[in-house]
Amino acid sequence: MKRAVTLALILVLGVFLAANVFAGGQGDGGAKKSLKIGKIPITMQANYHQAHVKHLIAYAKEKYNANVSVIDGEFSTEASVKAVETFISQGVNGILLHSLDEKVNDQMVKAARKAKIPIVTFYIPTLSRLVPHLQINEAETSFQMGKVAALKWKEWYPNKPIKIGVIDYLTVEIVQKHRTGPFIAGVLSVDPTAQVVSKLEGSANVQKAMAAMQDMLQAHPDVNLVYGANADHALGALAALENAGRGKAVNGKCLTEIVIGTDATEGELAKLYNPSSSFKITQGLQPKVNAIAEMDLLYNCITGTQNPDAWIQIDTFDKFISYWDTPIEEAQKFIEEQYFTKLDLKSATGN
Amino acid sequence: MQADLTLKAGRRGGRLDIQLLILVGILVLVMAVSTALTPRFLSYVNMINVLMQVAMIMLTGSAAVLLMIAGAFDLSVGMVLALTGVMYAFMSKNGIPTPLALVLAVLIGSGFGLLNGALVVGLKITPVIATLGTMYVAQGLAFIVAWIDGGANVTTGLPRDFEVFGRTMVGPIPMFLLIVFAMILMFYFLFAKTNLRKYAFAIGGNQTAARLSGIKVGGVVLTLYVLVGTLTGFAGMTLASRMGSGSPKVGTGFEFDVIVAIVLGGTSIYGGEGSFLGMILGALIIGFVGNTLNLLNVMFFYQTILKGLILVGAVLLMRQLRRR
């Protein structure tokens, strides 16, 4: 009896599997087949990437009748490699890849191309420049942030030398190239005597950023331009400053330091537009703009309009946001459009 | 009972005293070298900074050390720390009075402790697997709650009194630090004056013998897990209040920080031997080393190497001591 039941179950399972294997080739009554796109964000643990994926899914469906599957890259090259392999085995029509390492990107891209699947990289390209790439040109806005911060400081406190402290992503080379490096260059373009007094690792973690900033304040209490390479770093640094009785401004004039961030998340903007906070400058990544651009690029590769094996770089840009130059209404519109937010900045900041 | 800061096991107490002396020596050496290398080390503000940074490790470690002495451990503390912080923020933001949200957040930690205990004691799942599982659950829940809130953190729309607990000063000392250290002392005396510590040592030394001698092994281990969860919940809530937000990304590696402090303090990972004061000293050593390296602007990568070397070196030293 047990054996009969077991055999019956195996038979049912076999029929089920066979049905699935053959079902892929069946027509569905003439309805248009939708594209299957695989998206690998570097992480889903950040506001920006969550919003990017949301925009991508909506846009892909609306414009191209494409269904997007997402596998979280978990900030790990291993997870990204597995994700690419999974999408290849699923036979997707195209892959959008945002991963950590240029060299490993080469391998993942080669695997996808071997399976004849078009693949587009985002933010971090292939080392050998193998396939089309979408790049956020953060260097320009980072430079602008550094310049504006330095100009403001010199305007308010011309006799206080600029001392830069950075809560950084030391493990991610491209951040040095696109964010931290250009930011410092922007400061130096205004004041060549400005010094970087400290660069500490934030590990994309607000708690670690806070602890690092506490130590930085101890070693360099005169630090006056504090740059966070992402929102968690900037907000963690600000928390440490606030805990130390700093982090303050009066009607937008910073008292002891200017804090500069990255990402323009709700949390950042709520502080930025608070006239009593020293957080005053950031750059807003634009998930909607980037999602549309990368999907368009991939679709062109799928249809052959763009050679999927030719290097081409398309640039998008971040939005520069400062308390002094960007009206709050503009920032409100930005976060509503880009981040699906329900936050009312004016209420949140007492404006 | 003679005043005794070492929670001696059934073995000769002298060895643990020597271990503690060595730890004190290492701590003094670290502080001396740090003072020589950077003039900003030995200042009141810096000492308070380090204490703030290691306070959560010590708080969770207060119960976790006994758990390890009893032969078990909890890998979920990092993610429970994150979840309780996120929940504290989420509840405060959504109409629950902040003091009540504070209590509920701590109870969520207790709940996870109970779950861990139930899995280990009730279902006989090995602690590594059980607490790894709950670690993943807590992590996922933390991100889901933040996502429900609309993003990757619970940062905006928090009530004004959200930060009160974490940022209020009592004179020159942060209030939360006073409360945390009061709790640590309270737990120390609780363990010292009750049978809980004796039972933990007995269970860690020989579980079968402990059971045969009438000790309710399951009940003790379950109690310890609940205590670890409760203290972790308190730590998570405190951290969120200090940061002014609930972030699912805090607590990464926290479980290892706690284990390192405990092991560095002379507690055996196999159970049966350990020291509460050793855990405190271990946490301080790691805290001061990290602090000094940051003050000296030493690159992060070297810091992690040095921490590994200190841990392995200290454990080798303890092992040499045990052989004598």
pLDDT, tens only, B30-49: 899 999 988 888 888 889 98
How many CB contacts within 8 angstroms connect chain A with chain B?
A: 107
DSSP string computed for B10-57: SS-HHHHHHHHHHHHHHHHHHHHHHHHH-TTSSSHHHHHHHHHHHHHH
CA distance B5 to chain A (A): 30
- For residue A234, pLDDT over 70 is answered with yes
Return the axis-axis angle of helices B44-69 and B276-295, rounded to nearest 10°: 140
- For residue A79, pLDDT over 50 is answered with yes
CB neighbourhood size of B158 (10 A): 22
pLDDT at B2 (0 to 100): 34
Structure confidence by residue, pLDDT tens digits, B277-294: 999 999 999 899 888 888
Mean pLDDT of A50-62: 96
- For residue A22, pLDDT over 70 is answered with no
- For residue B4, pLDDT over 70 is answered with no
Mean pLDDT of B247-270: 90
Mean pLDDT of A2-13: 80
Rounded percentage of chain B residues whose pLDDT exceeds 90: 60
Q: Do A343 and B167 touch (CB under 8 A)?
A: no
Q: Do A339 and B147 touch (CB under 8 A)?
A: no
Testing the interface with A: which of B43, B77, B153 to mutate, by most A Cβ within 10 A?
Answer: B153
* Contact yes or no for A215/B291 (Cβ under 8 A): yes
pLDDT at B6 (0 to 100): 39
Domains of chain A (ranges, CATH numbers): 34-131+287-316 (3.40.50.2300), 137-285+319-349 (3.40.50.2300)
pLDDT at A342 (0 to 100): 83
User: Which token pair is B95?
Assistant: 């109409």
CA distance A244 to chain B (A): 9
Total-model pTM? 0.81
Residues contacting residue B104 through CB under 8 Å, at least 6 positions apart: B87, B88, B91, B96
pLDDT at B303 (0 to 100): 82
Q: Do B167 and A341 touch (CB under 8 A)?
A: no
Identity of residue B59: L
* Contact yes or no for B200/B222 (Cβ under 8 A): no
Distance between CA atoms of A41 and A74, rounded to whole angstroms? 8
Q: Which residues of A touch B250 (CB under 8 A)?
A: 205-207
Q: Which residues of B touch A206 (CB under 8 A)?
A: 153, 243, 245, 247, 249-250
Residues contacting residue B10 through CB under 8 Å, at least 6 positions apart: B201, B202, B205
Domains of chain B (ranges, CATH numbers): 49-323 (1.10.3470)
B156, B167, B245 member nearest A206 (Cβ): B245
Distance between CA atoms of B178 and B186, rounded to whole angstroms? 12
- The four Cα atoms A232, A234, A236, A241 give a dihedral, to 10 degrees, of -170
pLDDT at B78 (0 to 100): 96
Structure confidence by residue, pLDDT tens digits, B42-84: 888 889 989 998 999 999 999 999 999 999 999 999 999 999 9
Q: What burial letters (b/e) apply to A153-192, b meaning 16+ CB within 10 Å?
A: bbeeeeeeebbbbbbbbbebebbbebbbebbbebbbebbe
Mean pLDDT of chain B: 89
Q: Name the strand (E) or helix (H) holding B295.
A: helix B276-295
DSSP string computed for A292-311: HHHHHHHHHHHHTSS-TTS-
Mean pLDDT of B176-204: 90
- For β-strands B169-170 and A319-322, DSSP reports them as unpaired
pLDDT at A20 (0 to 100): 54
Q: Kindly report the three-state secondary structure assignment for every residue of B233-272.
A: HHHHHHHHHHHCCECCCCCCCHHHHHHHHHHHCCCCCCCC
Q: Do B242 and A210 touch (CB under 8 A)?
A: yes
CA distances A331 to A219, A311, B145, B210, B274, Å, are 35, 35, 26, 65, 56
Structure confidence by residue, pLDDT tens digits, A116-147: 999 999 999 999 999 999 999 999 999 999 99
Distance between CA atoms of B79 and B124, rounded to whole angstroms? 22
Q: Which residues of B touch A165 (CB under 8 A)?
A: none
This model of the complex carries an ipTM of 0.71
- For residue B8, pLDDT over 70 is answered with no
- For residue B316, pLDDT over 50 is answered with yes
pLDDT at A16 (0 to 100): 64
Q: Specify the DSSP class assigned to residue A172.
A: -
Name the residue in chain B with its Cα closest to that of A341: B150
Q: Which residues of B touch A339 (CB under 8 A)?
A: 151
Q: Name the strand (E) or helix (H) holding A133.
A: strand A133-137
Name the residue in chain A with its Cα closest to that of B175: A243
Q: Do B155 and A203 touch (CB under 8 A)?
A: no
Q: Do B151 and A266 touch (CB under 8 A)?
A: yes
Identity of residue A214: Q
Q: Do A170 and B299 touch (CB under 8 A)?
A: yes
Q: Which residues of B touch A342 (CB under 8 A)?
A: 150
Task: Give the closest residue to B72 by CA, choosing from B110, B118, B115, B120.
Answer: B120
pLDDT at A185 (0 to 100): 98
What is the pLDDT confidence band of residue A19, given thresholds at 50, 70 and 90? low
Distance between CA atoms of A138 and A149, rounded to whole angstroms? 16
Structure confidence by residue, pLDDT tens digits, B88-100: 999 999 999 999 9
Distance between CA atoms of A100 and A297, rounded to whole angstroms? 20
**Edge-to-edge strand order for the sheet containing A35-40?**
A66-70, A35-40, A94-97, A119-122, A133-137, A313-317
